[in-house]
């Protein structure tokens, strides 16, 4: 953690050298996600509900996924850009340093401009939570926290899995974006709207539904099953096979010679 904190401070000082540029990046990130919000808002204003979910209920899903993805992208971006580290030889230099590789890769890129997305998600939270019909209890607040934490870990695990494949392909495989950026876009609505096959895939293969759909049912009072409170913690186990893939790739890695 001490090493990662040092990397964080370096990135912070570096990006604050050009404050206007940094501010414009934050505004750009805010507006990029805001267009998706507008599309969802006007669609819901036209049809009133989708698969039985109202605007406020969809907004809860939207803000949770946006917040979780923004945090993962901010702090785990090093794995998302891992192909660059391999291609330019920087990863080979990391290998000879007497430090753990994970914080080195994580600290290689920290996207503080993602604060723009965080701000938008928090603003939506500030609007929708007091205006929803949710009867808040300690268990439901815990559910909300688990959803956000689980979402951060699942998205970070997907970035880690992407980096693991780069050991064999050198270049990044863009199909992973189906589950990272695509997961963020799809997750702005409850996953049940995409059909049973997609819901099962996002439950048992890539467990995004475990941090969004099932706990959302409990949060909205559509289910009284308290097991749904803890399914985001089960989703966190997804990091272990992804880390196992990372270790497997690292074991078979041969230098690119850069």
pLDDT, tens digit, for every residue of 51-78? 889 989 999 999 999 999 999 999 898 8
With H, G, I as helix, E, B as strand and everything else as coil, classify residue 11: helix
Kindly tell me the burial class for residue 81, based on how many C-beta atoms sit within 10 Å of its own C-beta (0-12, 13-18, 19 or more). middle
Strand partners, 49: 54
Residue 177: C-alpha distances to residues 10, 185, 187, 193 (Å): 28, 11, 14, 21
Residue 195's pLDDT is what? 92
Distance, CA of 21 to CA of 154 (rounded, Å): 31
Residue 257's pLDDT is what? 62
What are 117-167's pLDDT values in tens digits?
899 889 988 888 888 888 889 999 999 999 999 999 999 999 999 999 988
Nearest to 127 by CA among 232, 37, 21: 37
- C-beta atoms surrounding 52 within 10 Å: 10
What are 192-204's pLDDT values in tens digits?
999 999 999 999 9
Query: Pairing between strand 49-50 and 53-54?
Result: antiparallel
Q: What is the mean pLDDT of the chain?
A: 89
Could you tell me the pTM of the whole model?
0.92
């Amino acid at each position: 953690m001490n090493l990662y904190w040092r990397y964080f401070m370096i990135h912070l000082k570096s990006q604050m050298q050009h404050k206007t540029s940094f501010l414009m990046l934050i505004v750009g990130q805010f507006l990029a996600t805001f267009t998706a919000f507008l599309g969802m808002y006007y669609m819901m204003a036209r049809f009133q509900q989708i698969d039985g979910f109202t605007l406020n209920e969809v907004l809860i899903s939207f803000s949770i996924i946006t917040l979780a993805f923004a945090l993962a992208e901010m702090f785990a971006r090093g794995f998302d850009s891992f192909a660059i580290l391999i291609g330019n030889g920087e990863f080979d230099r990391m290998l000879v340093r007497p430090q753990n590789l994970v914080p080195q890769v994580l600290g290689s890129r920290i996207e503080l401009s993602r604060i723009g997305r965080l701000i938008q998600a928090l603003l939506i939270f500030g609007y929708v939570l007091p205006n929803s019909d949710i009867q808040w209890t300690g268990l439901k607040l815990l559910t909300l926290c688990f959803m956000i934490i689980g979402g951060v870990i699942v998205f970070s695990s997907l970035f880690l899995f992407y980096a693991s494949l780069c050991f064999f392909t050198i270049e990044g495989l863009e199909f992973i974006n189906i589950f990272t950026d695509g997961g963020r876009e799809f997750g702005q609505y409850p996953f049940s709207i995409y059909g049973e096959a997609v819901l099962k895939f996002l439950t048992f293969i890539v467990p995004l539904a475990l941090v969004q759909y099932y706990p959302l049912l409990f949060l909205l009072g559509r289910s009284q099953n308290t097991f749904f409170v803890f399914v985001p913690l089960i989703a966190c186990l997804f990091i272990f096979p992804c880390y196992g893939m990372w270790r497997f790739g690292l074991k078979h890695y041969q230098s690119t010679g850069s």
